[in-house]
A and B are shown apart, each in its own frame.
Chain A
Amino acid sequence: MAATVKVVRLERTWKDQIYLLEVLRGLGLTLKHMFVNMWGRRATPTIQYPEQTIEYPKRFRGVHRLMQRDDGRVRCVACMMCSTACPARCIHIEAAETDDPSIEKYPAVFAIDELKCVDCGLCVEACPCDSIRMDTGLHMPPVLTRGAAVLGKIDLLKLAAPSVATQGGEKPGWQSKPDDPRFADR
């Protein structure tokens, strides 16, 4: 059985047909918007960006920073977890040995290419010692050359503060918590 198709045509009155009245109505609408925006209450949702900014959410991922130990040395132990986790492969680390037996390694070179970075935050998740963070709230400033977008260890440490997390040294280790009853059976 053939399907029956019901054709519904738009009912157009002569007012619609001559089109001119509808044009005037449309003009009325756009002009109303224009005059309201000119003299009345502005409906523009625009944010005049460099002068006006919106407040970013607390978990906004900005430019990276490298956290410090209490003595100001970098917390990073050059474990390569962040550079392994990085989907954009923008973290370059060259490890070196330290004399401190509780640390063993530190990054001699730690560079992040902020142009390659996709701001995913996986490096922060991967870091076992709270060394790398993206909580500066800063945008990467514009650069004139691509090389200038590569932030080194010194640049990243300049944004840093001592981390509140404990790790190595004289303080209780961050991996074992002997005073905590939950760790009693370990």
Chain B
Amino acid sequence: MDIQTLLSFEWGMMAPEFTILIVGILLSLLDLFGKDTWKKSLPWLAVGGVGVAIIFLLFQYGHGDISILGNTYVFDSFAFYFKLILLIATLLILLMVISRTVQQEVRDRGEYLYLLLAALLGGMMVASGGDLISLFVGLELLSLSSYIMVGLRKRDVRSSEGAMKYLINGSIATAFTLFGMSYVFGLTGSTKLVDIAREMSGSLGSGEPVAIIGFIIMFVGLAFKISTVPFHMWTPDVYEGAVTPVSAFLSVVSKSAGFIIIVRIFWGIFGNATFGGSDTLFATMIDFIAVLAFLTMFIGNLVALRQRNMKRLLAYSSIGHAGYILIPLVSLTPVSLENIWFYLLAYAFMTIGAFMVIYILEQQKQSEDISIFTGLYRESPALAIIMTIFLASLAGIPGTAGFIGKFNIFVGAVAADPAQYILAGTMAVMTVVSYIYYFNIMVQMYIRKPQLEGTTKIARLQSVPLILCVAGTIGLGVFPFIALNFFH
């Protein structure tokens, strides 16, 4: 590859990634050598960096599909829309970090910020990766940064324990993913997704069992990132051990990146692979994923019923939501990708919002138990109403983003060929089950009397992410067509 070819690539398309990278490096240097007075403004630098990256990304709206570095890094509409979710979610989480009122929680604040940016960069690499190697490196950048972020609260034994569990589970999952990737590489002799798809579209012949083994092993490994059934056990422990903004990050950004890589690999490679003469390999494996989706929805929502720790409750509810998002993956219709995207976007707003409310209450009451919500309506009506909006959206009440997302997925599952009636039915039943634990929190807020007298105030900085999340949740619920038209 000579210098002319390299310069002919459109490097300008990488502007969002470069922004995040440069801001991350700048943050680490300023944190090391800067004066203490500067350090207060470092979080704003991070917010500014992510903001600039979003603007750079929006300039790419409607740009044709191009790829650089010999198809290893692609900029298609898929990468564009999903990067947008990652960036918006990270922006909200950074605002959440800034709003902190209790100071001693994490002492190494600078690390916290640039690990967050490094993880975001990994997620963006996953969204744009067109090669198994770059997908893997991006995924690991995301994972390794998250392991450290979970363990950053060194003084707290729960943080170290959560981080250790996360790391062990994550490494085993990585090994699974890689093992699957090695079989796919062996079958096709290439790591570039376009080449693999081309090789696989021919007859696989005696390679079919290897392809199936590769498919299953890789899916099991990637299930870790989205916390679905074979690898979901880490979720509650890690969410409980981590600081709340990091839990929100894992729940939204990390999970979105997991879905991105799954869609990219499984639709991209196996969606083209012919199997047994007629069907695609992906179509033959739909039942496998459907079983996982069924189990995930079932376990996530039922175990959430008996949780009292709020972060564990949201962890199990996030397992349940991951199960819902698997449904459009298996019910193949032209709008499947759109449904995944919309649900992830809605999920980002409502989950970050719910974590933000928990974060505010947790700092004031030094507890994560469900009792922090007791009598919240009398202490702070505004916060109670805001939390109600997020809970309604998570539960899927009409008028909220969560309802539109669930409704689209449900319709997609029924309209698909073959129709996934069992999955759609399970989803409906499990949504009803989820009402029990979401409404339990509302009962606590409105009907119970507060244990302690006093009012809960929302600081000005804390209101910023809350307002943005409420706007996102309600806006997408009332005017979903704005987002859906934007997607087309």
State whether these chains interact.
no
| A residues apposed to B, CB below 8 Å | none
